[in-house]
Structures are given as structure tokens and as C-alpha cells.
Amino acid sequence: MKNPPVTLITIAEKAGVSVMTVSRALNDEGSVAAKTRAKVRAIAAELGYSPNLSAKMMKGSRTNVIGILVNDLQSAVINEIIGAVSVAVRKLEMDLVIYNSIGDTDNAPSRGLGHMLQGLCDGLLLILPRISDTQLRQLEQRGLPVVLVNYWRPTDLPVVRGGNSDAAAAATRHLLQLGHRRIGFITGSAFTGQSQERQHGYESALRGAGIEVDPKLIAAGDFGRRSGYEAASALLTAENAPTAIFAANDEMAFGAIDAVRACGLRMPQDVSVIGFDDIPAAAHVHPALTTVRQPLAAISDAAVRELLLRIAGSGGEQQRVEFPSELVLRDSTARAPARADAAPAPKRATAPRRTGAAAVKPAPMKAATVKPATVKPVAGAAASRKRPAGKA
């Protein structure tokens, strides 16, 4: 049985305002308080409301095409977002065109961006964009409806994103609650706000626990698996090595898992590992990866809805929507070893060489996930150990 259609009345009842206020808020008409307008639009996006979109598009010359601009089609997160956007666009009987901007310079407008601006699409989603202020100004000047997805810098354009800093702090606090005091952190690409915000959350949680941030426990990565392996190898073979490693994304966490094993250490008995993003593979490595889940489907759906509102002429003032991320406890974290102030010495004195593919195996079963506000032990091999509740 199909769900009943979402109407202005549905939105009004949920928002606690009149139908007229909902109409004015969605169409940017009349006098509506900014807070009320933002609340109404957020509810409309949540419920999947699209105000007679087809009829509005018929008023002008439309292509019924949504454009996506990305910078790395190899990214698991970007591919997850593209997949979710594709589902949302298909339901609306619209088409999707994707341009990969990898290799474009910061200041020179990309060929793909130029095509988008010349009428190839009705609106544009920029996913995790590495885009310059010059290019953003160009977009604003041309008037093409644009929504930025997981963008971090200040802008007058609408942004839909997942939380980074608070979630990273929650992940770090989880390790602290397990007794870890020397916690390594592997950064992502230096120019991305995601990496900076996640590192900020890690450092703020340490300071909140009265622990000084040790620069020697922070290793540089680039969001790739190999960089996670190399960074973790350096951390684990250093003097006074960490008992836990927090990687700024899951791919680097997988590399860290490889490094733990290559050093002859056990996970999680000797070294705990946490990732970020909760890509599908995170539940299927062994042991299953404790990580931070970004609600990528919700982010994608909200971004599409906001873009469609703007294409239809219903978009108004700039808005920035942030979805909270949540800690997912699986089997890659455990209480710190007895000597929590010093990790067990690796069996090899030097960083191991990586000679082949990742040494991860499928988990025997999918681990259950929990929200950080109600953290409970998951079923499986690690179900017998107690995990203290943590605030997300």
C-alpha cells in the first residue's frame, strides 16, 4: 500500500503552524520568521514534499536533468552519495549527469562546470567539492541552482552535510572510556575540512579528559587505504606506541588493521581501531569495524529536495543543514591492555613492508549497530565485554 501524498496540511500539522504559513515559507512569500521558514522547509525535505514540481518546470525551458560534480569517483563515500541521489532522482522521473572534476585546477573553470553552466542541467549538486572561491562566485553569478553536499567552508550557497567534530569527539571518548590514554589519529587530506573537523573533535575530547595532545600520535594520511597502512605502521613501531588508533575515514582504518596484523599484534586485544563514515565494507572486515556513521542517504535525499525547490523557484535565503553522525560499536575496539600507558611492543622492530592485498577477512556475521546515545554491547564475538555508554 502506497503512503498517502504529503500535502501542505501534513507539513502544517507537523510544524504546528497554519497552512498559509507553510505556503508562504515554501514559496518565499509574505512575512514569515526566518526560524519558522527554516523549520517548515526542513520538515518538507524530511517528508519528501515537492510542490507541484512538474507543473512549475513546465513554465520554463527545463532539461529535467540534475547535474553532479565530483572530484573522485574512487571514493566509497562519494559513490554512496551518488547511489542515493540516483534513487531519489529516478523516483522523480528525471535524469542524472555526472562530471568528475579530478585534475582541474583551483582557479581555472573546469570544462565540466562550464557545460553545466551552459544549460546541460537544471541544477547542480557539488559532492565533497574541491572548488575554489572563484568557481563558487561564478556559480552564484550565473544563477544556476546549486546545493553543496558535505561542504565545510563558509558560503552563501545552500549546504547539506553530516556532522564531523562532535562525532569524532564521541568516538575518541569511547576509546577513553575503554581505558586508552595513548590514542593515535590518522588525518585525511590536508586541504579537506572533513579531516580538520574530525581532528578537532579528537583533540577536544582528549583535552576534555585532561590529556595533552601529543603531536607524535598524529600521523598524516590522504583518505586512502595505503596511507592508513603506512601511517599506522609508523605509529605502532614508534617508541611508546598507541594502544588505539582513530582513522579519519574507514579506508584508512582498513589500512591500519593491515598494519596491526603485519606488526604481529592482535586486534582488538592489543590495539583498538576506529574509522569514520561506515561504508558498507566496514561491517564485513574481521573484526567488524567500530566507526562513525554518516547518514548519507538522508543527506542525499535532503540535498535533492532542496535543489528541486530552488529549480522550481521556491528556494529562498541561504540555508545550512547538518545531520548528526552516530557512533556504531562493533568488534574492533576493546578495553586497553593492562599497561595502558604503553602499547605492547611489535614483534618487528621496523615498519613492515606491504607486499600484497589487504589482509582482511569477511566477518562471520553482520554486527548490530547502535546509536551513541544508547550504546549497548553488540551481539557476536565481543558481546561478553562491557562497553560503557558514551554521549554522541
Residues 226 and 366 in one domain: yes
Which of 147, 144, 131 minimizes the C-alpha distance to 88? 147
- Cα 232 from Cα 221, distance rounded (Å): 9
Q: What three-state secondary structure class fits 43? A: helix
Between 31-45, 131-145, 283-297, the lowest mean confidence (pLDDT) is in 131-145
Average pLDDT, the chain: 80
If 0-12 CB within 10 Å is exposed, 13-18 middle and 19+ buried, where does residue 68 land? buried
Between 227 and 342, the higher pLDDT residue: 227
* pLDDT at residue 209 in the model: 98
Cell (9 digits) for 156: 552563501
Residues 204 and 333 in one domain: yes
- Cα 386 from Cα 180, distance rounded (Å): 15
Cell (9 digits) for 242: 598507541
Residue 305 has pLDDT above 80, yes or no: yes
Please give the share of the chain, as a percent, with pLDDT higher than 90. Answer: 47
* pLDDT at residue 375 in the model: 40
What does the pLDDT average to over 303-313?
Answer: 89
In a domain, residue 99? The reply is no
In a domain, residue 132? The reply is no
Question: Is 274:244 a contact under the CB 8 Å cutoff?
Answer: yes
- Cα 199 from Cα 196, distance rounded (Å): 5
In a domain, residue 192? The reply is yes
In a domain, residue 20? The reply is yes
Is residue 111 very low, low, confident or very high in pLDDT (cuts 50, 70, 90)? Answer: low
Between 177-181, 188-192, 359-363, the lowest mean confidence (pLDDT) is in 359-363
Give the contacts of 63 (CB within 8 A, at least 6 positions apart): 95, 119, 120, 121, 122
Residue 180 has pLDDT above 70, yes or no: yes
What does the pLDDT average to over 249-256?
Answer: 98
Q: What three-state secondary structure class fits 362? A: coil
Type and span of the H or E element at 184: strand 183-186
Please give the share of the chain, as a percent, with pLDDT higher than 70. Answer: 76
In a domain, residue 127? The reply is no
What does the pLDDT average to over 4-32?
Answer: 79
In a domain, residue 195? The reply is yes
Cis ω on the peptide bond leading into residue 287 (within 30° of 0)?
yes
Type and span of the H or E element at 208: helix 193-208
Is residue 318 very low, low, confident or very high in pLDDT (cuts 50, 70, 90)? Answer: low
Question: Is 169:246 a contact under the CB 8 Å cutoff?
Answer: no
What does the pLDDT average to over 355-370?
Answer: 39
If 0-12 CB within 10 Å is exposed, 13-18 middle and 19+ buried, where does residue 4 land? exposed
Residues 32 and 177 in one domain: no
Is residue 322 very low, low, confident or very high in pLDDT (cuts 50, 70, 90)? Answer: very high
Type and span of the H or E element at 320: strand 320-323
Domain that holds residue 43: 1-49
* pLDDT at residue 10 in the model: 83
CATH number of the domain that residue 30 is part of: 1.10.260.40
In a domain, residue 145? The reply is no
DSSP sequence for 89-139: HHHTT-EEEEEE-TT--SSSPPHHHHHIIIII-SEEEEES----HHHHHHH
Cell (9 digits) for 183: 590514542
* Best-predicted range by mean pLDDT (15-24, 89-98, 246-255, 383-392): 246-255
Per-residue pLDDT tens over the stretch 24-64: 788 766 678 888 888 988 898 888 776 554 444 444 557 78
CATH number of the domain that residue 207 is part of: 3.40.50.2300
Is residue 84 very low, low, confident or very high in pLDDT (cuts 50, 70, 90)? Answer: very high
Beta-bridge partner residues of 277: 293
Beta-bridge partner residues of 184: 245
Residue 314 has pLDDT above 90, yes or no: no
* pLDDT at residue 248 in the model: 98
If 0-12 CB within 10 Å is exposed, 13-18 middle and 19+ buried, where does residue 269 land? exposed
* Best-predicted range by mean pLDDT (99-113, 151-165, 235-249, 317-331): 235-249
Q: What three-state secondary structure class fits 384? A: coil
In a domain, residue 21? The reply is yes
Q: How many domains does the chain have?
A: 2
Residue 206 has pLDDT above 90, yes or no: yes
- Cα 61 from Cα 255, distance rounded (Å): 49
Which residue reads 546541460 in cell numbers?
Answer: 120
Residue 210 has pLDDT above 90, yes or no: yes
* pLDDT at residue 317 in the model: 62
Residues 40 and 170 in one domain: no
